[in-house]
Chains A and B, each alone.
Chain A
Amino acid sequence: MAELGCQEMVGLVTEYLEGTLGPRDRRRIEEHLAECDACVRYIEQMRETLKLLGTVPVDTLSPEAQSTLLEAFRDLKR
């Protein structure tokens, strides 16, 4: 099988991180990473991106809506 190029590596990075690659592709990626600092850096940046994404705040319901729901819950259980 042909040696893995960087462009192909970049295309497989999500499958690699998700653990959905077959053993052969996984080995090709690991062999490539052992010799390619640029791709190691790319994957590291992808991991940092994911870490940052996990810290992005997402809105929840307004406090007013939440207390309306709590009242409805209370009423039904009364």
Chain B
Amino acid sequence: MGREEGELIAALRAGDEAVFSRLVSEWSRSMLTLARHFVSTEASAEEVVQETWLAVIKGLDRFEGRSALRTWVYRILVNTAKSRGVKEHRTLPWSSVAGDDAGPSLDPALFQSTGEAYPGHWRAAPTAWPHDVAVEGSVLAGELRGELRTVVDALPDRQRLVLTLRDVLGHSSDEVCQLLDISQANQRVLLHRARTAVRAGLAAYLEGS
């Protein structure tokens, strides 16, 4: 347990309201995202997150610090969300990457096939994007952020979850594997497919506009 972590726990045990509020506000983003995956509605996910924090408040004195505080909190969340999901008859198999996660990730028609001059090479290079595409504060970046939501929402469940945790909320691959109980390889396949689809979605939008 790191020094910072120890201070965090000590502050919470001492009843530091500012620290508690900050954690609730920051961590609940990821917690809602995670919970939503296991339960049927947004409202249900909110309840799961609240229930989790209540369990955290009550369990703080018993927390032994064998795992990181965040890991402990998220574990309570996942367990709470899962049992709520069972009650709501929402079951999602995590055991394989089959189904909607299979198939080529980028349209094979973009590449030359055997018999053509350069099999496996681009038929045409990807169209260039405007230079200010990802420049913070640019009008285009703001517009694309809206488009991104649409593209991300359209991803298959598990891809959307992994991409959101990794690329939107900034969790590490280790953390995501642990939270979702999947292998590194599995996590990478889901992330790869999701990222490929999201870039392609942006490309289609930019070419169409």
Residue in contact with A54 in the complex, picked from B32, B106, B121, B168, CB distance below 8 Å: B168
Chain B interface, number of residues (Cβ within 8 angstroms): 59
Residue numbers in A under 8 Å from B106 (CB-CB): 7, 10-11
**How distant is the Cα of A55 from the Cα of B147 in the complex, in angstroms?**
12
Q: Is A52 part of the binding interface, using a Cβ–Cβ cutoff of 8 Å?
A: yes
Q: Are B120's CB and A38's CB within 8 A?
A: no
CB distance from A52 to the nearest CB of B (A): 5
Question: In the bound complex, do residue A5 and residue B133 qualify as a contact, i.e. CB atoms below 8 Å apart?
Answer: no
Flag if B133 contacts A74 (CB, 8 Å). Answer: no
State the main secondary structure of chain B at its contact with A.
helix
User: How many residues of chain A have a CB within 8 Å of chain B?
Assistant: 42
| Bound complex: CA A51 to CA B136 (Å) | 9
Partner of A53 from B122, B126, B163 at Cβ < 8 Å: B163
Question: Which of A10, A42, A54 is packed against the most chain B CB atoms within 10 Å?
Answer: A10
**Contact segment of B47-55, B72-80, B82-90:** B47-55
- Which residues of chain B are within 8 angstroms of A42 by Cβ–Cβ distance? 126
Q: How far is the CA of A58 from the CA of B160 in the complex (A)?
A: 13
Alpha-carbon distance A14/B111, docked complex (angstroms)? 19
A10 to B197, CA, bound (A): 12
Q: Is B202 an interface residue (CB 8 A)?
A: yes
**At the interface, yes or no: B170 with Cβ under 8 Å from chain A?**
yes
Bits for A23-48, please: 1 = Cβ < 8 Å to B, else 0: 00000000000000111011001101
Q: Is the CB of B169 within 8 A of A58?
A: yes
Q: Is A72 touching B54 in the complex (CB atoms < 8 A)?
A: yes
Once the chains bind, are B50 and A70 in contact (CB under 8 Å)? no
Whether A70 pairs with B24 at a CB distance below 8 angstroms is: yes
Given A48-B129, A69-B53; A58-B29 close (CB under 8 Å): yes
Question: Whole-angstrom distance from the CB of A33 to the nearest CB of chain B?
Answer: 13
Kindly provide the distance from the CB of B124 to the nearest chain A CB, expressed in whole angstroms. Answer: 8
Distance in Å from the Cβ of B47 to the closest Cβ of chain A? 9
**Chain B residues in 8 Å Cβ range of A52:** 133-134, 141, 144-145, 148, 202
CB contact under 8 A between A73 and B57, given known A49-B198, A58-B33:
yes
CB pair A56–B168 under 8 Å, yes or no, is yes
Residues of A within 8 A of B180 (CB): none
- Residue among B54, B152, B170 with the highest chain A CB neighbour number at 10 A: B54
Is B28's beta carbon under 8 Å from chain A?
A: yes
Rounded to whole angstroms, the CA-CA distance of A38 and B108 in the bound complex is 16
